[in-house]
Amino acid sequence: MASFNSDAMKVLSVCGVVRLIQEELDKVTDQVASGRSGKELELPHIFAKPEKCVEHAGFVNPYAKAKALAALHMAEKVAQVNFPACFMLKEIDQVCLTAAAGHEIMGAAAQLATQAREIEKSNDTVFRQPHAKNGTLLKKVKLYEKPE
């Protein structure tokens, strides 16, 4: 399971899902920092389709972006494959085969996500958002540039 989870996290982080969630949570944090609370807060309602998520990944190269989008679609398919294995199928051989197939799809999705990132690295265009000492997000693309 740890290997499956690491593949899933790779897809979610490289392909923009984690950044989308981070941005939405930052909006809530900003509201709290400005004095809002309780029912005044606008909480996020994220409908995270692959096309929306990949836009938050910051890809410059269209081939890298296409690989990331494919990885997200594959990850979405994993849930459709694994759901029956977890909740509907009863025969152990069917459960194991179906779950293993879902895990293989996630592994392939993680490989595509890695390839997408490698394309961006080869062009020195990996989008990064490090935090400043005061907690604000900075941005940079080039490896050796100073975040702003």
pLDDT in tens, 32-63: 999 999 999 999 999 999 999 999 999 999 99
Six-digit token string for 127: 């989008």
- Tell me how far apart the alpha carbons of residues 122 and 113 are, in angstroms, rounded to a whole number: 14
Q: What is the pLDDT of residue 32?
A: 95
Q: What's the whole-model pTM score?
A: 0.91
**Mean pLDDT computed over every residue of the chain:** 95
- Tell me how far apart the alpha carbons of residues 25 and 131 are, in angstroms, rounded to a whole number: 15
Supply angle C-alpha 74, 78, 83, rounded to 5: 155
- CA 136 to the chain's CA centroid: 21
What is the band of 131 on the pLDDT scale with cuts at 50, 70, 90? confident
Q: What is the pLDDT of residue 95?
A: 95
Six-digit token string for 69: 């989008």
Q: Which residues make Cβ contacts (< 8 Å) with residue 10, sequence separation at least 6?
A: 110, 113, 114
| Residue whose tokens read 């029912």 | 39
Residues in the chain: 148
What one-letter code names the amino acid at 5? N
Is the model's pLDDT at 112 over the cut of 90?
A: yes
What is the helix (H) or strand (E) element at residue 146, kind and residue range? none
Q: What is the pLDDT of residue 135?
A: 81
